[in-house]
């Protein structure tokens, strides 16, 4: 029984470490920008500054925005599975992860 339990834990840890890399997609009405390297990025649309986004490789956040309530800035850091939406600027920020498998079931 103990061997089976160790085997199951080992399988799940291997599958969790098989991520081929994650990237952040910043999408607006007229643009789509993919962030794959850590850094701070200015997001513009047709030459107009919308926001500044920081990506640390594992999480993303909006540092600065031109929207009135700054709810996207107040959202803070978001990891895989999370989303940041800025309605006034019509921008959505989300993770797009690549894996070798679609789902894990048992």
Q: Is residue 61 part of a domain?
A: yes
Per-residue pLDDT for 105 more than 80? no
**More confident call, 59 vs 19:** 59
Rounded distance between C-alpha atoms, residue 71 and residue 95, angstroms: 19
Give me the mean pLDDT over the 78-92 stretch. 92
**More confident call, 97 vs 84:** 84
Q: Over the chain, what is the mean pLDDT?
A: 81
Q: Is residue 12 part of a domain?
A: no
**Residue holding tokens 């956040």?**
61
The model's pLDDT over 34-74, given as tens digits with 9 standing for 90+, comes to 888 999 999 998 889 999 999 998 899 999 999 999 999 99
Q: Is residue 103 part of a domain?
A: no
Strands 60-65 and 48-55: antiparallel
Q: How confident is the model at residue 106 (pLDDT cuts 50, 70, 90)?
A: low
Q: Is residue 26 part of a domain?
A: yes
Tokens of 97: 């992860």
Q: How confident is the model at residue 25 (pLDDT cuts 50, 70, 90)?
A: confident
Tokens of 66: 């031109």
Sequence-separated (6 or more) residues with CB below 8 Å from residue 67: 51, 86, 87, 88, 89
Per-residue pLDDT for 8 more than 80? no
Q: How confident is the model at residue 4 (pLDDT cuts 50, 70, 90)?
A: low
Q: Is residue 6 part of a domain?
A: no
Number of domains in the chain: 1
């Amino acid at each position: 029984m103990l061997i089976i339990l160790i085997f199951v834990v080992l399988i799940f840890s291997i599958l969790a470490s098989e991520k081929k890399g994650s990237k952040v997609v910043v999408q607006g009405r007229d643009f789509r920008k993919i962030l794959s390297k850590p850094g701070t990025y200015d997001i513009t649309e047709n030459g107009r500054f919308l926001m500044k986004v920081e990506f640390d490789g594992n999480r993303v956040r909006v540092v600065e925005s031109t929207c009135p309530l700054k709810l996207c800035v107040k959202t803070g850091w978001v990891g895989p599975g999370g989303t940041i939406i800025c309605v006034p600027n019509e921008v959505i920020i989300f993770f797009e992860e690549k894996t070798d498998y679609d789902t894990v079931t048992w």
